[in-house]
Structure 1
């Protein structure tokens, strides 16, 4: 079990052997005994239970340990992932995503095209979000402990997290500015029901100042819950086909309203 946790904590590195391009769907196949996809680590029910307990304890101690929150989601979210997968199958755009398996990374993004898009377009605003906040889509850990190839893709697609920050208009987390991340977690918890989202939503505020906590509880959490309930499942958004769509038009389509307060003013 300690070995499994070390594998979960190991930094993501480029593979030594060639793999399919990131934008090419990877179907279930034989990559050694029991392996369903790259980075897959087959585990028994007992191993999953132990991993869930260990990752939950570490995530509760430090809610900003996103690697442990991810392990918790992979080892406890099987039923929820199936429900999300079924939602995607019933939606035309979601079904197309499941069929084509797009993956967002620096290797698949056409940064020049995004830069050339009009001001206010979703693609241009997403690129601005990456630049201003100095984040990258390549920082998300690969799925490892989901023993179903299609569900592994669903949770990997969920981790296209910066897209949701852009759509909601919430800055990302940092040690000095965590409210934006907590608000997104509340939205995700309502939308997905994934244990890792619920954990982040409930325990993320532990390091907030009293003032930020008051604003979060009185204004931002109700806003996130309301928008999460009103918006259709965001996993059905084929972001890559919406770069040219005005961000405001996308927000209106989803029924997402602007945050009630400026999150940059909260510390």
Structure 2
């Protein structure tokens, strides 16, 4: 489905209602990716607007906005054929080892403009590329650490809420490990690395990951 066809225009009160309903539903069932996605979209407009402005000021970001690449099977399947030492191959291995598909992400529905909808889509679709780059697993600790990086990069409220929710579900050993090691590392990584939303990842698939 194209970004334009997926969009649903909501009034302010409708956005608030969707945000409240999604928040309650996500708390009850954190595995509901569609509810989490809706909450991100209905609470993340200011953050996505800031990301959009940063992308417009970056040569690579502007290229992304102009060409609108998608991290979907149709466009990234060549990564599975790249040499083992490349970024693309590492991404393919990450996805294949977990039986993930680039097409699994729910579409963005509740952004006001096509441009913002694309930025939100891009942020959603590069998530697994960031897992690959930072070497983070998809368990609760790994996802929470990546959410910290995402928050430092984009200031999305839902990222911090996800971290708080994750720490609540940690056992004592996991919580101690996360707070002592993963959290400070993720904060530094998110603040010190390049602007991740301004990287045209597909152009770097054939590069050596090291």
Per the normalisation by structure 1, the TM-score is 0.75
Name structure 2 gaps, 5 residues minimum: none
Aligned with 1:226 (options 164, 173, 188): 188
Corresponding residue for residue 205 of structure 2: 243
The whole-number CA distance in structure 2 between the counterparts of 1:45 and 1:86 is 23
User: SS state of the match for residue 85, structure 2?
Assistant: coil
Whether the 8 Å CA contact 2:39–2:158 is kept in 1: the answer is yes
Q: Does 1:166 align with 2:128?
A: no
The whole-number CA distance in structure 1 between the counterparts of 2:167 and 2:31 is 10
State the Cα distance separating 1:116 from its structure 2 match: 3.7
Structure with bigger gyration radius: 1
List aligned pairs for 1:5-16, cutoff 5 A.
Answer: none
Whether the 8 Å CA contact 1:58–1:68 is kept in 2: the answer is yes
Q: Does 1:213 align with 2:178?
A: no
Q: Which has the higher contact order (CA 8 A, sep 6+)?
A: 2
State the Cα distance separating 1:146 from its structure 2 match: 0.6
Whether the 8 Å CA contact 2:108–2:120 is kept in 1: the answer is yes
State the Cα distance separating 1:104 from its structure 2 match: 1.3
Corresponding residue for residue 121 of structure 2: 156
Corresponding residue for residue 186 of structure 1: 148
**Residues paired across the two proteins, number:** 209
Corresponding residue for residue 93 of structure 2: 128
Whether the 8 Å CA contact 1:190–1:229 is kept in 2: the answer is yes
The whole-number CA distance in structure 2 between the counterparts of 1:55 and 1:87 is 28
Per the normalisation by structure 2, the TM-score is 0.94
Greater fraction helix: 2
Corresponding residue for residue 8 of structure 1: none
Whether the 8 Å CA contact 1:59–1:65 is kept in 2: the answer is yes
The whole-number CA distance in structure 2 between the counterparts of 1:62 and 1:214 is 25
State the Cα distance separating 1:72 from its structure 2 match: 1.0
State the Cα distance separating 1:119 from its structure 2 match: 2.2
What do residues 50-76 of structure 1 show as CA deviations (whole Å, max 9, x unaligned)?
111111222233444322121111111
State the Cα distance separating 1:136 from its structure 2 match: 1.1
